[in-house]
Protein backbone atom coordinates (compact mmCIF):
# COMPACT_ATOMS: atom_id res chain seq x y z
CA UNK A 1 0.00 0.00 0.00
CA UNK A 2 2.81 2.39 0.88
CA UNK A 3 4.63 1.62 -2.35
CA UNK A 4 1.45 2.31 -4.32
CA UNK A 5 1.06 5.69 -2.62
CA UNK A 6 4.72 6.50 -3.31
CA UNK A 7 4.30 5.64 -6.98
CA UNK A 8 1.23 7.87 -7.20
CA UNK A 9 3.08 10.74 -5.52
CA UNK A 10 6.04 10.37 -7.88
CA UNK A 11 3.70 10.37 -10.89
CA UNK A 12 1.88 13.45 -9.60
CA UNK A 13 5.19 15.20 -9.03
CA UNK A 14 6.31 14.35 -12.53
CA UNK A 15 3.03 15.67 -13.94
CA UNK A 16 3.42 18.91 -11.97
CA UNK A 17 7.01 19.31 -13.18
CA UNK A 18 5.88 18.67 -16.74
CA UNK A 19 3.12 21.26 -16.39
CA UNK A 20 5.61 23.80 -15.04
CA UNK A 21 8.05 23.12 -17.88
CA UNK A 22 5.39 23.17 -20.60
CA UNK A 23 6.11 25.95 -23.10
CA UNK A 24 3.85 28.99 -22.97
CA UNK A 25 1.67 29.34 -26.04
CA UNK A 26 1.76 32.99 -27.13
CA UNK A 27 -0.56 34.65 -29.61
CA UNK A 28 0.07 38.01 -31.25
CA UNK A 29 -2.39 39.66 -28.85
CA UNK A 30 -0.59 38.05 -25.89
CA UNK A 31 2.76 39.27 -27.17
CA UNK A 32 1.42 42.82 -27.53
CA UNK A 33 -0.02 42.78 -24.02
CA UNK A 34 3.22 41.46 -22.56
CA UNK A 35 5.32 44.02 -24.44
CA UNK A 36 3.17 46.89 -23.16
CA UNK A 37 4.17 45.98 -19.62
CA UNK A 38 7.90 45.79 -20.34
CA UNK A 39 8.97 47.97 -23.31
CA UNK A 40 10.79 51.06 -21.93
CA UNK A 41 9.89 53.50 -24.72
CA UNK A 42 6.18 52.74 -24.42
CA UNK A 43 6.31 52.93 -20.61
CA UNK A 44 8.08 56.30 -20.89
CA UNK A 45 5.22 57.56 -23.08
CA UNK A 46 2.72 56.27 -20.50
CA UNK A 47 4.59 58.13 -17.76
CA UNK A 48 4.69 61.34 -19.83
CA UNK A 49 0.93 61.14 -20.38
CA UNK A 50 0.34 60.69 -16.64
CA UNK A 51 2.67 63.60 -15.82
CA UNK A 52 0.89 65.84 -18.35
CA UNK A 53 -2.49 64.91 -16.85
CA UNK A 54 -1.29 65.88 -13.38
CA UNK A 55 0.10 69.15 -14.77
CA UNK A 56 -3.43 69.90 -15.99
CA UNK A 57 -4.82 69.24 -12.51
CA UNK A 58 -2.21 71.56 -11.00
CA UNK A 59 -2.86 74.30 -13.58
CA UNK A 60 -6.57 74.24 -12.82
CA UNK A 61 -5.91 74.28 -9.07
CA UNK A 62 -3.61 77.30 -9.47
CA UNK A 63 -6.55 79.36 -10.77
CA UNK A 64 -8.67 78.66 -7.67
CA UNK A 65 -8.30 79.97 -4.10
CA UNK A 66 -5.94 77.99 -1.88
CA UNK A 67 -6.64 77.34 1.81
CA UNK A 68 -4.26 76.39 4.58
CA UNK A 69 -4.23 76.13 8.33
CA UNK A 70 -1.28 77.02 10.54
CA UNK A 71 -0.77 76.66 14.26
CA UNK A 72 2.11 78.63 15.77
CA UNK A 73 3.54 79.29 19.22
CA UNK A 74 6.02 82.13 19.80
CA UNK A 75 7.87 82.32 23.11
CA UNK A 76 10.13 85.27 23.92
CA UNK A 77 11.97 86.86 26.77
CA UNK A 78 9.94 89.45 28.59
CA UNK A 79 10.82 93.16 28.38
CA UNK A 80 9.64 94.27 31.88
CA UNK A 81 12.92 96.00 32.88
CA UNK A 82 12.89 98.05 29.71
CA UNK A 83 9.34 98.60 28.31
CA UNK A 84 10.76 100.03 25.08
CA UNK A 85 13.47 97.43 24.58
CA UNK A 86 13.72 94.09 22.86
CA UNK A 87 10.96 92.10 21.13
CA UNK A 88 8.80 95.18 20.84
CA UNK A 89 6.56 93.44 18.28
CA UNK A 90 5.34 91.00 20.92
CA UNK A 91 2.75 92.00 23.48
CA UNK A 92 3.53 89.17 25.88
CA UNK A 93 5.94 86.38 26.76
CA UNK A 94 3.70 83.80 25.07
CA UNK A 95 2.04 84.25 21.69
CA UNK A 96 -0.37 81.77 20.04
CA UNK A 97 -1.49 81.89 16.42
CA UNK A 98 -4.16 79.63 14.98
CA UNK A 99 -4.97 80.79 11.48
CA UNK A 100 -7.11 79.64 8.59
CA UNK A 101 -5.52 81.33 5.58
CA UNK A 102 -6.92 81.85 2.09
CA UNK A 103 -4.98 83.07 -0.93
CA UNK A 104 -6.20 84.08 -4.38
CA UNK A 105 -4.15 85.46 -7.23
CA UNK A 106 -5.99 87.67 -9.71
CA UNK A 107 -3.85 88.04 -12.81
CA UNK A 108 -4.42 88.08 -16.57
CA UNK A 109 -3.55 84.39 -16.57
CA UNK A 110 -6.32 83.71 -14.06
CA UNK A 111 -8.98 85.44 -16.17
CA UNK A 112 -7.76 84.25 -19.58
CA UNK A 113 -6.88 80.73 -18.41
CA UNK A 114 -3.76 80.52 -20.58
CA UNK A 115 -1.84 78.22 -18.18
CA UNK A 116 -4.79 75.82 -18.10
CA UNK A 117 -5.12 75.92 -21.90
CA UNK A 118 -1.43 75.13 -22.23
CA UNK A 119 -1.59 72.28 -19.72
CA UNK A 120 -4.58 70.70 -21.46
CA UNK A 121 -2.92 71.06 -24.86
CA UNK A 122 0.25 69.43 -23.52
CA UNK A 123 -1.87 66.65 -22.03
CA UNK A 124 -3.64 66.07 -25.36
CA UNK A 125 -0.27 66.03 -27.16
CA UNK A 126 1.09 63.54 -24.63
CA UNK A 127 -1.92 61.28 -25.19
CA UNK A 128 -1.37 61.47 -28.93
CA UNK A 129 2.31 60.61 -28.47
CA UNK A 130 1.27 57.70 -26.28
CA UNK A 131 -0.93 56.48 -29.12
CA UNK A 132 2.03 56.87 -31.49
CA UNK A 133 4.22 54.85 -29.14
CA UNK A 134 1.53 52.18 -28.81
CA UNK A 135 1.12 51.82 -32.56
CA UNK A 136 4.88 51.80 -33.01
CA UNK A 137 5.10 49.04 -30.43
CA UNK A 138 2.51 47.07 -32.39
CA UNK A 139 4.72 47.31 -35.47
CA UNK A 140 7.80 46.21 -33.51
CA UNK A 141 6.05 43.24 -31.90
CA UNK A 142 4.37 42.26 -35.16
CA UNK A 143 7.69 42.32 -37.02
CA UNK A 144 9.44 40.20 -34.38
CA UNK A 145 6.47 37.85 -34.05
CA UNK A 146 6.19 37.07 -37.74
CA UNK A 147 9.94 37.08 -38.23
CA UNK A 148 10.04 34.24 -35.74
CA UNK A 149 7.17 32.40 -37.44
CA UNK A 150 8.81 32.90 -40.83
CA UNK A 151 12.09 31.60 -39.38
CA UNK A 152 10.27 28.54 -38.05
CA UNK A 153 8.80 27.87 -41.47
CA UNK A 154 12.18 28.31 -43.12
CA UNK A 155 13.62 25.93 -40.55
CA UNK A 156 11.00 23.33 -41.51
CA UNK A 157 11.66 23.97 -45.22
CA UNK A 158 15.41 23.62 -44.73
CA UNK A 159 14.92 20.43 -42.77
CA UNK A 160 12.71 18.98 -45.50
CA UNK A 161 15.13 20.14 -48.19
CA UNK A 162 18.03 18.49 -46.39
CA UNK A 163 16.05 15.25 -46.23
CA UNK A 164 15.20 15.48 -49.92
CA UNK A 165 18.83 16.23 -50.80
CA UNK A 166 19.91 13.19 -48.82
CA UNK A 167 17.32 11.13 -50.61
CA UNK A 168 18.62 12.39 -53.96
CA UNK A 169 22.17 11.58 -52.87
CA UNK A 170 21.14 8.06 -51.88
CA UNK A 171 19.31 7.52 -55.18
CA UNK A 172 22.32 8.77 -57.16
CA UNK A 173 24.68 6.41 -55.36
CA UNK A 174 22.34 3.47 -55.87
CA UNK A 175 22.02 4.23 -59.56
CA UNK A 176 25.78 4.66 -59.86
CA UNK A 177 26.26 1.21 -58.41
CA UNK A 178 23.80 -0.12 -60.98
CA UNK A 179 25.68 1.69 -63.70
CA UNK A 180 22.71 3.83 -64.65
CA UNK A 181 24.28 7.26 -63.95
CA UNK A 182 27.72 8.75 -64.16
CA UNK A 183 29.97 9.62 -61.24
CA UNK A 184 29.28 13.30 -61.89
CA UNK A 185 25.66 12.81 -60.77
CA UNK A 186 26.82 11.48 -57.42
CA UNK A 187 29.22 14.40 -57.03
CA UNK A 188 26.47 16.88 -57.88
CA UNK A 189 24.07 15.16 -55.46
CA UNK A 190 26.63 15.25 -52.66
CA UNK A 191 27.32 18.94 -53.27
CA UNK A 192 23.59 19.65 -53.08
CA UNK A 193 23.30 17.58 -49.90
CA UNK A 194 26.16 19.43 -48.21
CA UNK A 195 24.71 22.78 -49.21
CA UNK A 196 21.28 21.88 -47.87
CA UNK A 197 22.83 20.71 -44.61
CA UNK A 198 24.56 24.07 -44.23
CA UNK A 199 21.33 25.88 -45.13
CA UNK A 200 19.58 23.87 -42.42
CA UNK A 201 22.20 24.94 -39.87
CA UNK A 202 21.78 28.58 -40.90
CA UNK A 203 17.99 28.29 -40.66
CA UNK A 204 18.35 26.84 -37.16
CA UNK A 205 20.56 29.76 -36.14
CA UNK A 206 18.12 32.30 -37.62
CA UNK A 207 15.18 30.70 -35.82
CA UNK A 208 16.98 30.72 -32.46
CA UNK A 209 18.02 34.35 -32.94
CA UNK A 210 14.45 35.36 -33.78
CA UNK A 211 13.20 33.49 -30.71
CA UNK A 212 15.63 35.32 -28.44
CA UNK A 213 14.80 38.73 -29.91
CA UNK A 214 11.10 38.21 -29.23
CA UNK A 215 11.73 36.69 -25.79
CA UNK A 216 13.63 39.80 -24.66
CA UNK A 217 10.64 41.97 -25.55
CA UNK A 218 7.77 39.96 -24.05
CA UNK A 219 9.16 38.24 -20.94
CA UNK A 220 10.32 39.98 -17.73
CA UNK A 221 12.97 37.30 -17.25
CA UNK A 222 14.75 35.72 -20.19
CA UNK A 223 12.70 32.73 -21.29
CA UNK A 224 13.00 30.71 -24.47
CA UNK A 225 10.46 28.09 -23.45
CA UNK A 226 7.50 29.33 -25.49
CA UNK A 227 5.79 28.71 -28.79
CA UNK A 228 3.80 30.97 -31.11
CA UNK A 229 0.45 30.53 -32.79
CA UNK A 230 1.05 30.58 -36.55
CA UNK A 231 -1.74 32.81 -37.88
CA UNK A 232 0.32 34.39 -40.64
CA UNK A 233 -2.13 33.32 -43.35
CA UNK A 234 -5.13 34.88 -41.58
CA UNK A 235 -4.19 38.53 -41.96
CA UNK A 236 -6.87 41.24 -42.16
CA UNK A 237 -8.32 42.18 -45.52
CA UNK A 238 -6.91 45.39 -47.00
CA UNK A 239 -9.77 47.93 -47.39
CA UNK A 240 -10.08 50.16 -50.50
CA UNK A 241 -7.90 53.26 -50.56
CA UNK A 242 -10.86 55.64 -50.20
CA UNK A 243 -11.83 53.95 -46.93
CA UNK A 244 -8.24 53.96 -45.72
CA UNK A 245 -7.96 57.67 -46.55
CA UNK A 246 -11.09 58.45 -44.56
CA UNK A 247 -9.80 56.50 -41.56
CA UNK A 248 -6.46 58.30 -41.69
CA UNK A 249 -8.21 61.67 -41.74
CA UNK A 250 -10.13 60.86 -38.56
CA UNK A 251 -7.50 59.19 -36.43
CA UNK A 252 -3.92 60.24 -37.09
CA UNK A 253 -2.04 60.65 -33.79
CA UNK A 254 0.92 62.36 -35.47
CA UNK A 255 -1.33 65.19 -36.67
CA UNK A 256 -3.06 65.37 -33.28
CA UNK A 257 0.27 65.62 -31.48
CA UNK A 258 1.50 68.37 -33.82
CA UNK A 259 -1.78 70.29 -33.57
CA UNK A 260 -1.86 70.18 -29.76
CA UNK A 261 1.80 71.15 -29.59
CA UNK A 262 0.99 74.24 -31.66
CA UNK A 263 -1.94 75.04 -29.36
CA UNK A 264 0.33 74.75 -26.32
CA UNK A 265 2.87 77.04 -27.99
CA UNK A 266 0.13 79.64 -28.60
CA UNK A 267 -0.88 79.50 -24.94
CA UNK A 268 2.78 79.87 -23.98
CA UNK A 269 2.91 83.12 -25.96
CA UNK A 270 -0.10 84.45 -24.03
CA UNK A 271 1.49 83.45 -20.73
CA UNK A 272 4.68 85.31 -21.62
CA UNK A 273 2.72 88.42 -22.59
CA UNK A 274 0.70 88.26 -19.35
CA UNK A 275 3.99 88.65 -17.49
CA UNK A 276 4.04 92.27 -18.71
CA UNK A 277 0.70 93.07 -17.02
CA UNK A 278 -0.15 93.86 -13.37
CA UNK A 279 -1.35 91.16 -10.97
CA UNK A 280 -3.31 91.32 -7.69
CA UNK A 281 -2.91 88.88 -4.79
CA UNK A 282 -5.41 88.63 -1.94
CA UNK A 283 -4.38 87.01 1.37
CA UNK A 284 -6.99 86.62 4.08
CA UNK A 285 -6.60 85.00 7.51
CA UNK A 286 -9.14 84.20 10.19
CA UNK A 287 -8.33 82.82 13.61
CA UNK A 288 -6.49 83.54 16.84
CA UNK A 289 -3.42 85.65 17.59
CA UNK A 290 -3.35 86.07 21.35
CA UNK A 291 -1.36 85.44 24.53
CA UNK A 292 -3.59 82.47 25.39
CA UNK A 293 -4.72 79.62 23.22
CA UNK A 294 -8.41 80.28 23.84
CA UNK A 295 -11.42 81.86 22.20
CA UNK A 296 -11.52 84.57 24.94
CA UNK A 297 -8.74 85.94 27.14
CA UNK A 298 -7.36 89.03 28.88
CA UNK A 299 -4.86 90.94 26.75
CA UNK A 300 -1.53 91.32 28.52
CA UNK A 301 -0.98 94.73 26.93
CA UNK A 302 -4.41 96.00 28.10
CA UNK A 303 -5.65 94.01 31.11
CA UNK A 304 -8.03 96.79 32.07
CA UNK A 305 -10.27 95.87 29.15
CA UNK A 306 -11.17 92.57 30.74
CA UNK A 307 -11.98 89.37 28.86
CA UNK A 308 -12.15 89.96 25.12
CA UNK A 309 -12.70 87.66 22.11
CA UNK A 310 -9.54 86.39 20.39
CA UNK A 311 -11.07 85.45 17.02
CA UNK A 312 -10.53 87.93 14.20
CA UNK A 313 -9.49 88.34 10.61
CA UNK A 314 -6.97 90.20 8.49
CA UNK A 315 -6.92 90.90 4.76
CA UNK A 316 -3.88 91.86 2.67
CA UNK A 317 -4.13 93.13 -0.90
CA UNK A 318 -0.91 93.14 -2.90
CA UNK A 319 -0.85 94.82 -6.32
CA UNK A 320 2.26 94.10 -8.39
CA UNK A 321 3.00 96.25 -11.43
CA UNK A 322 6.01 95.28 -13.60
CA UNK A 323 8.17 98.33 -14.20
CA UNK A 324 11.63 97.32 -15.36
CA UNK A 325 13.27 93.92 -15.67
CA UNK A 326 16.04 94.63 -18.17
CA UNK A 327 14.06 93.04 -20.98
CA UNK A 328 13.62 89.63 -19.37
CA UNK A 329 9.86 89.42 -19.98
CA UNK A 330 10.24 90.69 -23.54
CA UNK A 331 12.83 87.98 -24.10
CA UNK A 332 10.39 85.36 -22.82
CA UNK A 333 7.80 86.62 -25.30
CA UNK A 334 10.30 86.34 -28.16
CA UNK A 335 11.24 82.82 -27.04
CA UNK A 336 7.63 81.66 -26.93
CA UNK A 337 6.92 83.19 -30.35
CA UNK A 338 9.93 81.34 -31.79
CA UNK A 339 8.58 78.06 -30.33
CA UNK A 340 5.19 78.83 -31.85
CA UNK A 341 6.72 79.30 -35.30
CA UNK A 342 8.63 76.07 -34.88
CA UNK A 343 5.45 74.22 -33.86
CA UNK A 344 3.62 75.65 -36.90
CA UNK A 345 6.37 74.40 -39.21
CA UNK A 346 6.27 70.98 -37.53
CA UNK A 347 2.50 70.80 -38.07
CA UNK A 348 2.72 71.60 -41.78
CA UNK A 349 5.49 69.02 -42.17
CA UNK A 350 3.39 66.44 -40.33
CA UNK A 351 0.47 67.14 -42.66
CA UNK A 352 2.62 66.63 -45.75
CA UNK A 353 4.30 63.59 -44.25
CA UNK A 354 0.94 62.04 -43.38
CA UNK A 355 -0.17 62.15 -47.02
CA UNK A 356 3.13 60.68 -48.18
CA UNK A 357 3.15 57.95 -45.53
CA UNK A 358 -0.43 56.98 -46.26
CA UNK A 359 0.21 56.49 -49.96
CA UNK A 360 3.54 54.68 -49.55
CA UNK A 361 2.25 52.41 -46.78
CA UNK A 362 -0.88 51.54 -48.72
CA UNK A 363 1.15 50.76 -51.83
CA UNK A 364 3.46 48.57 -49.75
CA UNK A 365 0.51 46.68 -48.26
CA UNK A 366 -1.10 46.27 -51.68
CA UNK A 367 2.13 44.96 -53.22
CA UNK A 368 2.69 42.60 -50.31
CA UNK A 369 -0.85 41.25 -50.56
CA UNK A 370 -0.47 40.56 -54.27
CA UNK A 371 2.90 38.94 -53.63
CA UNK A 372 1.35 36.57 -51.09
CA UNK A 373 -1.11 35.16 -53.64
CA UNK A 374 1.46 34.95 -56.42
CA UNK A 375 4.33 33.47 -54.44
CA UNK A 376 2.14 30.94 -52.65
CA UNK A 377 1.07 29.64 -56.05
CA UNK A 378 4.72 29.58 -57.16
CA UNK A 379 5.62 27.55 -54.07
CA UNK A 380 2.90 25.01 -54.86
CA UNK A 381 4.12 24.71 -58.46
CA UNK A 382 7.77 24.41 -57.36
CA UNK A 383 6.87 21.63 -54.93
CA UNK A 384 4.99 19.77 -57.63
CA UNK A 385 7.88 20.31 -60.06
CA UNK A 386 10.32 18.83 -57.54
CA UNK A 387 8.11 15.80 -57.06
CA UNK A 388 7.83 15.20 -60.81
CA UNK A 389 11.54 15.79 -61.39
CA UNK A 390 12.39 13.28 -58.66
CA UNK A 391 10.19 10.65 -60.31
CA UNK A 392 11.72 11.39 -63.71
CA UNK A 393 15.23 11.12 -62.29
CA UNK A 394 14.45 7.78 -60.73
CA UNK A 395 13.20 6.66 -64.16
CA UNK A 396 16.37 7.97 -65.80
CA UNK A 397 14.55 10.70 -67.71
CA UNK A 398 16.11 13.77 -66.06
CA UNK A 399 19.60 14.88 -65.12
CA UNK A 400 21.21 15.65 -61.79
CA UNK A 401 21.33 19.32 -62.72
CA UNK A 402 17.57 19.32 -63.17
CA UNK A 403 17.15 17.69 -59.76
CA UNK A 404 19.37 20.25 -58.04
CA UNK A 405 17.64 23.10 -59.83
CA UNK A 406 14.22 21.78 -58.83
CA UNK A 407 15.33 21.47 -55.18
CA UNK A 408 16.75 24.99 -55.06
CA UNK A 409 13.70 26.40 -56.80
CA UNK A 410 11.36 24.72 -54.31
CA UNK A 411 13.31 26.01 -51.31
CA UNK A 412 13.50 29.56 -52.71
CA UNK A 413 9.79 29.55 -53.59
CA UNK A 414 8.70 28.37 -50.14
CA UNK A 415 10.93 30.88 -48.37
CA UNK A 416 9.74 33.69 -50.64
CA UNK A 417 6.11 32.82 -49.93
CA UNK A 418 6.75 32.82 -46.18
CA UNK A 419 8.57 36.15 -46.42
CA UNK A 420 5.67 37.61 -48.41
CA UNK A 421 3.14 36.63 -45.76
CA UNK A 422 5.29 38.12 -42.99
CA UNK A 423 5.82 41.24 -45.09
CA UNK A 424 2.05 41.65 -45.55
CA UNK A 425 1.35 41.38 -41.80
CA UNK A 426 4.03 43.96 -41.02
CA UNK A 427 2.78 46.23 -43.82
CA UNK A 428 -0.73 46.11 -42.35
CA UNK A 429 0.64 46.98 -38.89
CA UNK A 430 2.56 49.94 -40.32
CA UNK A 431 -0.50 51.14 -42.23
CA UNK A 432 -2.54 51.00 -39.05
CA UNK A 433 -0.14 53.46 -37.42
CA UNK A 434 -1.85 56.19 -39.47
CA UNK A 435 -5.37 54.75 -39.76
CA UNK A 436 -6.00 52.87 -36.54
CA UNK A 437 -7.22 49.29 -36.44
CA UNK A 438 -9.39 47.94 -39.24
Asked whether the whole model's pTM tops 0.85, one would answer no
Q: Identify the burial level of 203 via C-beta atoms within 10 angstroms of its C-beta, where 0-12 means exposed, 13-18 middle and 19 or more buried.
A: buried
CATH: 3.40.630.10, 1.20.1600.10, 3.20.20.330, 2.60.40.420. Which one for 25-63+113-277+328-435? Answer: 1.20.1600.10
Q: Identify the burial level of 245 via C-beta atoms within 10 angstroms of its C-beta, where 0-12 means exposed, 13-18 middle and 19 or more buried.
A: middle
Q: 163-191 b/e with 16+ CB inside 10 Å = b? A: ebbbebbebbeebbeeeebeeebbebbbe
Cα angle: 433, vertex 436, 438; to 5 degrees = 120
Q: What is the rounded CA–CA span in Å between residue 156 and residue 169? A: 20
Q: What is the rounded CA–CA span in Å between residue 131 and residue 400? A: 57
Question: pLDDT digit of tens for each residue in the chain (438 aa)?
Answer: 434 434 333 334 433 444 456 888 999 999 999 999 999 999 999 999 999 999 999 999 999 999 999 998 887 766 555 554 444 455 667 788 899 999 999 888 888 889 999 999 999 999 999 999 999 999 999 999 999 999 999 999 999 999 988 988 888 888 888 777 788 888 888 898 999 999 999 999 999 999 999 999 999 998 889 999 998 888 788 999 999 988 888 878 999 999 999 999 999 999 999 989 999 999 999 999 887 888 888 876 677 888 888 899 999 999 999 999 899 999 999 999 999 999 999 999 999 999 999 999 999 999 999 999 899 999 999 999 989 988 888 887 888 888 888 888 999 999 999 999 999 999 999 999 998 888
- For residue 188, the model assigns a pLDDT of 87
The pairing of strands 226-228 and 24-26 is: parallel
- For residue 78, the model assigns a pLDDT of 60
Q: 66-110+278-321 — its CATH code? A: 2.20.200
The pairing of strands 94-106 and 226-228 is: unpaired
pLDDT per position as a tens digit, 296-342: 888 766 778 888 888 999 999 999 999 998 999 999 999 999 999 99
pLDDT per position as a tens digit, 358-399: 999 999 999 999 999 899 999 999 999 989 988 888 887 888
Q: What is the rounded CA–CA span in Å between residue 86 and residue 101? A: 29
What does the domain layout of the chain look like in residue ranges?
25-63+113-277+328-435, 66-110+278-321
Amino acid sequence: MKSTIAIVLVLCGAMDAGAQNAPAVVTLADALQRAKQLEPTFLAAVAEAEIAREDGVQARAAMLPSFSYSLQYIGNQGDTPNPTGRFVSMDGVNMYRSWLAARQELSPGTFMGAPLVKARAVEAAAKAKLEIAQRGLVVTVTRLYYTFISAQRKYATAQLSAQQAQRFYDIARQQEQLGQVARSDVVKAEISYRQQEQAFAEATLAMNSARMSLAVLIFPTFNENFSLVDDMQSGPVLPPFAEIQAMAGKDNPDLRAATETLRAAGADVRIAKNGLLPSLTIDAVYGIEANEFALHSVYVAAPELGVLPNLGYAVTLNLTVPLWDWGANRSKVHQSEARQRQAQAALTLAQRQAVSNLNSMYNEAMTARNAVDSLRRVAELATESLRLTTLRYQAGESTALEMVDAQNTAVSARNAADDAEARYRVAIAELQTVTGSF
